[in-house]
A and B are shown apart, each in its own frame.
Chain A
Amino acid sequence: MNIIASKLQGAAMSITPSTDREPVLDIAKLRIEFRGKSETVVAIPELSFKVMPGESYGLVGESGCGKSTTAMAIMGYLGNTGVVAGGSIRFNGKELVNASARELRSIRGRQIAMVYQDPMSALNPVKTIGAQLAEVPLLHMGASKKDAMAMAEAMLADVRLPDPGDMLRRYPHQLSGGQQQRVVIAMALLAKPSLLLLDEPTTGLDVTVEAAVIDLIAELRQRYSTSLLFISHNLGLIAESCDRLGIMYSGEMVEEGLTGEVFRGPKHPYTRGLIDCIPDVTGDKRSRTLAAIPGSIPLPQERPQGCLFGPRCSSFAAGLCDRPDLALEHVADGHLVRCVRWQEIPAAEVMVAGVETGTVARSTAVSLIDVNRLYPVGYQKTVKANEAVTFDAATAEIVALVGESGCGKSTLARIVTGLDKATSGEIRMAGENLAELQASKRPRSLLQQVQMIFQNPDSTLNPSHPAAFSIRRSIKKFGIRKGKAEIEQRVRELLEMVRLSPAVADRKPSQLSGGQKQRIAIARAFAAEPSLIVADEPVSALDVSVQAAVVTLLLDIQREKHATMLFISHDLALVRHVADKVVVMYLGKIMEQGTVEEVFGEGAHPYTEALLSAIRSPHPDEAPRERVRLSGETPSPINVPAGCRFSTRCHRKLGTICDTVPPPLRQISGTHEILCHIDEAELAARPSVLAVDRKA
């Protein structure tokens, strides 16, 4: 009853729309500028694309490529400074640029609806869900209040929300993030729009919830035959849910075509780079290293002449690629690419061989024994952020902690580094127990041993000081080098190690890109010459092309310095590429731990199965795999289920025993442990969810 196994594969499931029909959305030579007081920024120089009736069109690109600006222009929400400086946006043949407010009002919400990234800000916190949903039929269809409520209730049932009647009377804050997003989708679909804009609709959601929302969108799209404009930075999502896609780079379309064609035979070097730098959950670091695209996206004011991707392209040819009039060229019918050399660039570059990590006999570097962290909240209530966490890490090993938000992985990171302290338990490292020692109580030598790389590049460096300030302080404080000249020399070495120019040292953080800031943060962590590095989602805030470069760099340095690393992430594909050992957490407890091969191989915890199965692969050719879909969402850590924590969502639940009795620890092998009621033999016999696909 808990399992929703769908065999849908987005790209294959829809009929290719006939081209002789009028497009629903026709954007031609669109130019968008932001006019500030002192300068004008051209966000989009020239953009053209069409969305046909019933089609799902994906707009992909990294941050700053102009994909959201395009969506905002379609809705006519460019703000005070944004101006459509040229071109046209036609919706069902009607021009939207310079349309009167009244005309726009009749189209917006009624014929074009939008689903935003953050559902909480799309819902009015002081109105009930019912009141907000009913507004749509009341305003746009002139329905009576009673009819409107009935329609709202039916729509809530359609978006698979439990107990829609009750849901109508609730307020947004009483719903979880996934439920809120479903409400927003319901609201968008109520007016039966002919075009639905989805701007990163699942970016803020956990992977298992994201998977369910994407399935829902695909299903609703078929039922309502709505055209979709799907905006995302996630290639896997687009590959699965779109018929056609356009790849945007710095405000320009660089490649456009049918999803299958583009992914099978990407022609533009940027598209290729983008596909190559995504970690693939079926391969690990021994089989393949991530290919990274050097550099970062140019700012709108600094676009190079000719091909915008030129400065980052390995096949750049002077005199050819820097001509100012590069047009989209036809590769095949409907497949366009903006690259003059697409025929010359070799089709498949040889994948760089993976790294060999010799498994030498290792000693234990750090071991956690029964670590608990309880936070008292309110009257006689406690949040169990971590409960009985036990694992150890060997010297120079990378242990990945994975889990969805609220699973306690970040709390654990803070306890290990001393930014928080455990309520009970032991963290043994170099003969000392760190569990209850906060940073201020730790001796300097211990502080030096454990350093941290943080998640958010925008807050990791102090905006008031030069970039290298904290690196310098760290060297000085721990006495790594003495004397001004020596310290400066060391700073230069460290910057070189993270592949940054020494000139970066004196820049303010506001002048650096996210990737550069994260490199500085890595240099800072290694400046102390620690033996344990705790990396809390070090690349989750970066764009995919930059992410690959930073991860590879981090791995290179870690290997060179023989530092042990706790790598915290929610991205399983990335973890597969990074880790030696994986610890899967759910609601503060370890569900499964083992080597990468064991966790990603046969015989996994049901929760791990669900996590793995939620990963979208950017390979449209893969055989459809059976997906495990979880219903519901992570319960609140205040009211954890009495038996197995995962029992409320488990698709392999045995019965009441799961609800009432805490599960035993099943020892599958010397290194592989699973916390589950299902017995060892049955767990081990189950094939991996990943094994089904990619038979080749």
Chain B
Amino acid sequence: MAVQDNIAAIPAEATRRAARPGWMRIFHSRTAVVGLCLVLFWVIAALLAPILPLPSPTDSDVMAMTNPYPSAAHWLGTDVLGRDVLSRLIFGARTVLSVAPLSVAVAMLVGITMGMIAGYYGGWIDVLISRFSDIILAFPVLVIYVILIANIGPSVLNIVIATTIASAPGIGRITRGLVLGLKEQEYIAAAKLRAESTLYIMIVELLPNCRSLLIVDACLRIGYTIITIGILGFLGLGLPPPNPDWGGMVKESVTVLNVWPHMSLIPSFALVSLVLGFNLLADGMREAWKP
């Protein structure tokens, strides 16, 4: 009887910031909006590529080879083989925007699993996973890529495998750190006391609380992976020709940089804009979701 009702006092929803990502909140961050626009530009272009009135990215226009500069027929000009640069750029975006997120997704899956197990169990399992990760992290990433791709040949699958090996340890480390802090929380103890399985605790109780940081990290990693794919293309280890590939485009025309600079500069700028977009988006999300 001494205790009275407490119903009246429920704070309004907007006043307290939630720890989990609120998707709408990223629109409050100008950085995130600019990043999102850059990314969306390329995503939409890539999606619409087949229906846009573009010349084929692989067909040579022999007439344009003598004058490859931008014209009414070829808005961004053609490359050394007379292929339309704009078309190759947009079709190239399709490859970049499918291979990079796919590789990161696979890397996240592997990395989160490693980090979750290492952080939650601790002890020798943690030592084993952490040392293994350290060894991989100590290798120059590019060397790993070159060794792998040079040995098993360039293809989408191989790029995915190479990226996973290179980025999973980093993701694992982030997850491990988060889990180390979260597993001491009282709600985890409460879950143990109601006989929840370890897998359940990891997926339902821990993972959602790692979400916002991991999404930010994934976004940054997609940016880095796009650069990596570009580098691999430039080294001739990218997707086999005649697939349009931004790194490959730069490589094919870098020898004529002094004569026809647009051929290598335009794909370089495209790469920069997309990577910048992902980085800004990541920064903006981090800012918006700050606890």
Interface segment out of the listed A180-188, A469-477, A641-649 = A469-477
Using an 8 Å CB-CB cutoff, how does the interface string of A552-565 with B read, 1 for contact, 0 for none? 11001000000000
Hey, what's the 0/1 contact readout for A430-460 against B, CB within 8 Å counting as 1? 0000000001100010010011101110011
Whether the pair B10, A512 counts as a contact (CB closer than 8 A) is yes
Q: Please give the distance in Å from A500's CB to the nearest CB on chain B.
A: 6
Find out whether the CB atom of A292 lies under 8 angstroms from the CB atom of B2: yes
Q: For B190, give its contact among A470, A504, A508, A510 (CB under 8 Å).
A: A470
Q: Using Cβ atoms and an 8 Å threshold, which residues of chain A touch B16? A: 510-511
| Inter-chain contacts of B18 with A (CB < 8 A) | 463, 508, 510-511
Those of A250-306 within 8 Å (CB) of chain B: 289-292, 294-296, 298-299, 301-302
Q: Are A478 and B194 in contact, with the CB atoms below 8 A?
A: yes
Given A292-B3, A460-B186, A499-B6, also A299-B15 (CB < 8 A): yes
Number of interface residues of A (CB under 8 A): 62
B193 within 8 A of A: yes
CA distance A491 to B192 in the complex (A): 20
**In the complex, A37 has a CB within 8 A of chain B:** yes
**Is B196 in the interface zone, CB < 8 Å from A?**
yes
**A299 with B193: in contact, given A290-B2, A352-B2, A464-B208 (CB under 8 Å)?**
no
Stretch of A110-118, A156-164, A513-521 contacting B (4+ beta carbons < 8 Å):
A513-521
- Chain B residues near A450 (CB, 8 Å)? 193
**B28 at interface (Cβ–Cβ under 8 A)?**
yes
Quick check: is B73 within 8 A (CB to CB) of the other chain? no
Decide: A516 and B6 in contact? CB cutoff 8 A: yes
Q: Is the CB of B3 within 8 A of A473?
A: no
Where chain B touches its partner, the secondary structure class is loop
Known: A462-B187, A499-B3, A501-B7. A444 touches B20 (CB 8 A): no
Instruction: Let me know if A524 is at the binding interface, CB within 8 A.
Output: yes
Q: Which residues of A contact B198 (CB under 8 A)?
A: 440
B residues 200-249 near A (Cβ < 8 Å) are: 204-205, 208-209, 211
Residue on B with the closest CB to A293?
B4
> How close is B275's CB to chain A, nearest CB, in angstroms?
28
- With the chains together, A360 CA to B15 CA distance in Å? 50
Chain B interface bracket (under 10, 10 to 19, 20 to 34, 35 or more): 35 or more
Q: Which residue of A lies closest to B8 (CB)?
A: A295
* Cβ-defined contact, B3 with A459, below 8 A: no
Distance between Cα atoms of A299 and B6 in the complex (Å)? 15
In the complex, which of the residues B3, B9, B19, B195 contacts A513, with contact meaning CB atoms closer than 8 Å? B9
Is A465 positioned at the interface, with any CB of B under 8 Å from its CB? Answer: yes
A513 to B11, Cβ gap below 8 A? yes
A512 to B10, CA, bound (A): 6
A419-B193 in contact (CB<8A):
yes
Complex contact B15–A464 (CB within 8 A): no
Chain B residues 16 to 47 lying within 8 A of chain A, measured CB to CB, are: 16-20, 28
Instruction: Tell me if B3 and A556 are in contact (CB < 8 A).
Output: yes
Check if B7 sits within 8 Å of A299, measured CB to CB: no
A418 at the interface (CB under 8 A from B): yes
- What is the chain B residue whose CB lies nearest that of A301? B15
Q: Judge whether A511 and B3 touch: CB under 8 Å.
A: no
Given the interface pairs A37-B28, A460-B186, A510-B19, the reply to whether A352 lies near B6 with Cβ below 8 Å is no
> Contacts of A439 on B, CB cut-off 8 Å?
192-193, 195
Please state if A464 and B193 are interface contacts (CB–CB under 8 Å): no
Q: A462-B205, A510-B19 are in contact. Are A294 and B6 (CB under 8 A)?
A: yes
Contact between A447 and B195, CB atoms less than 8 A apart: yes
Query: Chain A's nearest CB lies how many Å from the CB of B189?
Result: 5
The minimal Cβ–Cβ distance linking B281 to chain A, given in whole angstroms, is 19
Which A residues are CB-close (under 8 A) to B5? 294-295, 499
| With A459-B185, A510-B16: A454-B2 Cβ-Cβ less than 8 Å | no
Which residues of B lie under 8 Å from residue A459 when comparing CB positions?
185-187
- A515 to B3, alpha carbons, bound, how many Å? 12
Contact of A463 among B19, B28, B196, B204 (CB under 8 A): B19
* Complex alpha-carbon distance, A652 and B115, angstroms: 54
Q: Identify 20 residue pairs between A and B in the complex whose beta-carbon atoms are under 8 Å apart, listed by A's number.
A: A37-B28, A38-B28, A294-B8, A295-B8, A302-B11, A302-B12, A352-B1, A450-B193, A456-B186, A459-B187, A460-B190, A462-B209, A463-B209, A464-B211, A477-B196, A508-B20, A512-B11, A519-B6, A548-B2, A549-B4
Identify 6 new A-B residue pairs, CB closer than 8 A, beyond the known A462-B205, A500-B6. A301-B12, A456-B186, A464-B19, A499-B6, A513-B11, A549-B6
Give B residues with C-beta under 8 Å from A: 1-13, 15-20, 28, 185-187, 189-196, 198, 204-205, 208-209, 211
Chain A interface residues (CB < 8 Å from chain B): 37-38, 289-292, 294-296, 298-299, 301-302, 311, 352, 417-419, 439-440, 444, 447, 450-452, 454-456, 459-465, 470, 473-474, 477-478, 499-501, 503-504, 507-508, 510-513, 515-516, 519, 521, 524, 528, 548-549, 552-553, 556
